[in-house]
């Protein structure tokens, strides 16, 4: 599920921003990783 979500986000970002979408794609991947990391931290705490 997460792999499909990552591919979907990357495709949509690069389709919307063909010129300089690398930085926004990098930020989007960080946001996606945070969304997965936060619940894990909550489970540990």
Question: How many CA atoms lie less than 13 Å away from 10 in the CB half-sphere?
Answer: 10
Structure tokens at 13: 């970002």
The more confidently predicted of residues 1 and 41 is 41
Number of domains the chain contains = 1
pLDDT of amino acid 28: 81
State how far the Cα of 2 lies from the Cα of 39, in Å rounded to an integer.
14
The more confidently predicted of residues 19 and 12 is 12
- Please state whether the predicted TM-score (pTM) of the whole model is above 0.85: no
Q: Is the pLDDT of residue 31 over 80?
A: yes
3-state secondary structure of 37: helix
């Amino acid at each position: 599920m997460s792999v499909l979500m990552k591919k979907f986000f990357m495709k949509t970002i690069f389709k919307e921003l063909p010129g300089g979408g690398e930085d926004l794609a990098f930020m989007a991947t960080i946001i996606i990783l945070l969304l997965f990391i936060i619940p894990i931290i909550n489970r540990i705490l």
